[in-house]
């Protein structure tokens, strides 16, 4: 054990290029001494002084055991959103630091997570993703983050500390681990580099992106839901349960006039109706092979003056917000800016949409449930009311992954009907190809329609649509255009067959999926079509 300890100490010492240059100059003196014997004493004295100064620099400089390197990261992260990771370095030596030290800290986030620093990809991340040799895949290289921290001089550990942050964007949901931390710093005279390693592995959970939930709560309190594209303000007066009477305005519909009340008061009176709150919505998500394909979600991110951490945003969705956190939300000042395109699978896009849909449904007083299925039932959350149901649904969604199997629509819908639920709005996130490949979905949805109100939500293929509208410049492009048009025609036939069977259809791009689905739900609810 003592031998291994000494060997590890030797591995932590690396000569610098400065020391190599000084020794190179000493070698040059010996070459001169070979020609002029009088220079032998000078060369020997130079080497002795250089070795003494180098060893003295090694002994008097900070030792690796006197450094403390830490990582601070939230245990819960958002999928497809930048999450902040902070690296800290602190010198805990008894004599303090006589000079400032530049220490380079290297972190190992989970593989395939893009690393960013100050809005630009970190150089280490770019290097890690570039193949070193022809035929070597970029995925074979680890993604690392290297940050340079300037630790100031001082006499106490409270002063001798520095911190910097970088951002990672999780590309998949589930459980992940950060690797160990490594650091390297020069000695005072720059003759050596000392390096250290700390076993700082840390587990994190990646949840569906709850940023839309946070923005929804903020806009709802500000009365600015239309900024998100939501049509919640249209719901007023469009229900079926009587709420109150008011004077008729020019913008009201004629069917809103209460003729009996108008006759009694001698003027036109309109009726306000209240939206029903005791309804049921069940979100069914296909986790089969067709949901494995990538969809590009072009999102609009919000820049806030006082940003909240992903864990805080997630705690809101889980129903754990406090009055103080809500006050912080109301005090935030947001500016909408165009975000970059995020490549997510169709399942991830569907799950992100399902999170906001469940949150809005729970806020409207409806009972919300969840069904995950592929070739069998993967998870089922019975419909319940309350904001806490959103947290239960998120917990069921965070580890869901697509499988290369055919989805069993008939088995999933029969499972729903066997639960003997009251008539509900069943929103199924899936994908279609053509009437033949989607015949099971068409038949099973028709059978479900007799017991529940069915809505099928699909993500259209933007690449295929672009190819179909592209002006070909060569013969291969002409064939590609013809094939794309045929695919779109067959897909349209499958969706039209669903409509003819009484199933609602919503086919949108990935970037519009969340808002379009919530608006469709609000429209159905306002027309008492649930």
The Cα 170–Cα 348 span in angstroms is: 12
Burial, 528: exposed, middle or buried (Cβ in 10 Å; 0-12, 13-18, 19+)? middle
What pLDDT is stored for residue 3 in this prediction? 45
Cβ neighbour number for residue 42 with a 10 Å cutoff: 14
Cβ neighbour number for residue 204 with a 10 Å cutoff: 21
Closest CA to 285 of 493, 460, 451, 426: 426
Q: What is the DSSP letter of 109?
A: P
The Cα 250–Cα 229 span in angstroms is: 25
Q: What is the DSSP letter of 431?
A: -
Cβ neighbour number for residue 423 with a 10 Å cutoff: 11
Cβ neighbour number for residue 517 with a 10 Å cutoff: 23
What pLDDT is stored for residue 274 in this prediction? 59
The Cα 202–Cα 85 span in angstroms is: 12
The Cα 514–Cα 211 span in angstroms is: 12
Closest CA to 280 of 378, 387, 217, 358: 358
Strand 453-459 and strand 504-508: pairing? parallel
> Each residue of 472-500: b (16+ CB within 10 Å) or e?
eeeeeeeebbeebeebbebbeebbebbee
Q: Quick check: 99 and 91 in contact, CB under 8 A?
A: no
What pLDDT is stored for residue 165 in this prediction? 92
What pLDDT is stored for residue 129 in this prediction? 43
The Cα 409–Cα 371 span in angstroms is: 11
- Three state DSSP letters for 135-202: CCCHHHCCCCEEEEEEECCECCCCCCEEEEEEEECCCCCEEEEECCEEEEEECCCCCEEEEEEECCCE
Give the Å distances, CA to CA, from 382 to 369, 371, 399. Answer: 5, 8, 18
Kindly give the confidence (pLDDT) of every residue in the chain, 530 residues in length, as a single tens digit, with 9 standing for 90 and above: 454 455 455 567 899 999 999 999 999 989 888 888 888 899 999 999 999 999 999 988 888 888 999 999 998 888 888 889 999 999 988 777 878 889 999 999 988 888 887 644 444 444 444 443 344 444 445 567 889 999 888 877 667 889 999 999 888 888 999 999 999 999 999 999 999 999 989 999 998 888 778 887 777 776 677 767 776 544 444 555 556 777 877 767 777 788 888 888 888 888 776 556 678 999 999 999 989 988 865 444 444 434 444 445 555 545 444 334 444 444 444 433 344 566 788 999 999 999 999 999 998 889 999 999 999 999 999 999 988 999 999 999 988 889 999 999 999 999 999 888 888 999 999 999 888 888 999 999 988 988 899 999 999 888 888 888 888 888 888 888 899 899 899 999 999 999 999 999 999 998 889 999 999 998 888 776 66
């Amino acid at each position: 054990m003592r031998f291994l300890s000494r060997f590890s100490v030797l591995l932590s010492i690396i000569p610098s290029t400065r020391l190599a240059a000084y020794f190179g100059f000493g070698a040059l003196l010996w070459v001169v001494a070979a020609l002029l014997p009088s220079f032998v004493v000078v060369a020997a004295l130079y080497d002795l002084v250089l070795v003494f100064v180098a060893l003295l620099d090694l002994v008097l400089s900070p030792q690796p055991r006197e450094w403390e390197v830490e990582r601070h990261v939230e245990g819960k992260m958002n999928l497809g959103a930048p999450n902040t990771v902070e690296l800290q370095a602190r010198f805990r030596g008894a004599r303090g630091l006589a000079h400032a030290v530049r220490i380079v800290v290297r972190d190992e986030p989970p593989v395939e997570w893009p690393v960013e620093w100050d809005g630009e990809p970190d150089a280490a991340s770019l290097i890690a993703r570039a193949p070193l040799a022809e035929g070597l895949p970029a995925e074979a290289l680890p993604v690392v983050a290297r940050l340079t921290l300037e630790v100031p001089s001082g006499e106490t550990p409270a002063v001798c500390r520095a911190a910097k942050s970088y951002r990672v964007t999780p590309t998949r949901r589930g459980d992940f681990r950060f690797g160990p931390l490594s650091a390297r710093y020069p000695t005072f005279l720059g003759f050596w580099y000392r390096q250290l390693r700390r076993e700082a592995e840390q587990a994190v959970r990646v949840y569906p992106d709850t940023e839309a939930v946070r923005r929804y709560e903020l806009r709802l309190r500000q009365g600015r839901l239309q900024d998100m594209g939501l049509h919640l303000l249209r719901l007023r007066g469009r229900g079926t349960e009587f709420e109150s009477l008011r004077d008729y305005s020019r913008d009201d519909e004629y069917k809103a006039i209460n003729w009996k009340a108008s006759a009694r008061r001698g003027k036109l009176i309109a009726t306000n109706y209240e939206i029903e709150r005791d309804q049921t919505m069940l979100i069914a998500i296909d986790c089969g092979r067709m949901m494995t394909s990538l969809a590009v979600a072009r999102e609009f991110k919000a820049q806030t003056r006082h940003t909240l951490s992903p864990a805080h945003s997630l705690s809101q969705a889980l129903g754990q917000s406090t009055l103080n956190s809500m006050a912080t939300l109301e005090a935030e000042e947001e500016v909408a800016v165009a975000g970059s395109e995020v490549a997510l699978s169709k399942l991830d896009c569907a799950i992100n949409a399902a999170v906001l849909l469940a949150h809005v449904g729970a806020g409207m007083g409806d009972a919300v449930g969840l069904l995950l299925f592929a070739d069998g039932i993967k998870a089922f959350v019975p419909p319940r009311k309350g904001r806490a149901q959103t947290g239960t649904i998120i917990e069921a969604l965070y580890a869901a992954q697509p499988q290369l199997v055919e989805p069993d629509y008939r088995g999933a819908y029969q499972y729903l009907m066997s639960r003997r639920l009251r008539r509900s709005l069943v929103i199924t996130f899936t994908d279609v190809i053509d009437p033949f490949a989607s015949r099971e979905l068409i038949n099973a949805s028709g059978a479900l329609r007799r017991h529940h109100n069915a809505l099928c939500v699909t993500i259209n293929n933007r690449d295929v649509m672009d190819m179909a509208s592209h002006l070909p410049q060569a013969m291969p492009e002409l064939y590609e255009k013809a094939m794309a048009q045929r695919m779109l025609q067959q897909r349209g036939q499958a969706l039209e067959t669903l409509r003819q069977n009484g199933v609602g259809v919503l086919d949108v791009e990935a970037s519009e999926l969340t808002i379009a689905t919530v608006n469709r739900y609000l429209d159905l609810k306002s027309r008492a079509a649930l």
